[in-house]
Amino acid sequence: MRLSVRHKLTLFSTLVILAVSSGFTWVSLGLARRAIEEDLQNRAIIYAREVAAAIGGGRELGSGPALHQLIVRFLEIRPTVLQLDVLTFDADGTTLVASNEPTSQLSLNWSDAEDVQRGRVVSRAVSRGGQHHWEVMAPITLEGAVAGAVAVKFSAQRSDELIGRIRFWALTLAGVSLVLMGVLMTVAIQIVVDRPIRRFMDAISAVADDGADLPV
């Protein structure tokens, strides 16, 4: 079955809108994920500064009641923080100084630790056992030198909910746009294409029947 010109134009415009809407949806989701990651990185940097302030003027990290109390306070203020580790660097990698979950190890590796020692903030989304979370490591700076790091495990529940809402509304708007554009294109083609063609064909038929001159 061959499609008419009207159907071809409607189908083409629908496919164009679908492609554009899908592109905007994926771009929006990518920007949302990036914004969430940057927000978590900024939080980890704040935690690292708070740890540095709690230590005082020393140049070495050491476990103490003030540090443990600070971790507890972070967890109370931010329920999305599932785990917070304070680490130091050595030749073998990292050494745990303080943590609310000392028996649980984050997936951040030695390569990440090297980046943090250079002053960078490392973050990644992790899926484990059907659960999703973010892990972020930020440097702790004492007297201008990187003395250790804060490694934070953030719950991804709120970010997943946000991304889910963005995806839902983006797809809903895309579906509504497709339906609306299909209706508008059908009406427009009916007026701009079908009606002039029909008048032209009627005029040709009239001339063929009795030779009368009719306006085209």
CATH number for 91 = 3.30.450.20
Helix (H, G, I), strand (E, B) or coil at 92: coil
3-state DSSP assignment of residue 105: coil
State residue 120's pLDDT score: 92
Type of residue at 177: S
Q: If the chain, 216 residues long, is cut into consecutive pieces of 10 residues, what is the mean pLDDT of each piece? A: 64 75 80 87 89 69 74 88 88 82 83 88 84 89 86 87 83 79 73 68 67 52
Phi, psi of 141 (to 5 degrees): -105, 125
Examine residue 202 and state whether it is found in any structural domain, yes or no: no
For the chain, the domain total comes to 1
Decide if 79 is inside a domain: yes
For residue 136, the model assigns a pLDDT of 93
Which candidate, 97, 62, 99, places its Cα nearest to that of 81?
A: 99
Residue 214 lies in a domain: no
How many CA within 13 A on the CB side of residue 142?
16
Residue 184 is predicted with a pLDDT of: 76
Cα dihedral 63, 69, 72, 74, rounded to 10, equals -100
State residue 176's pLDDT score.
Answer: 82
Q: What is d(CA 194, CA 121) in angstroms, rounded to the nearest whole number?
A: 62
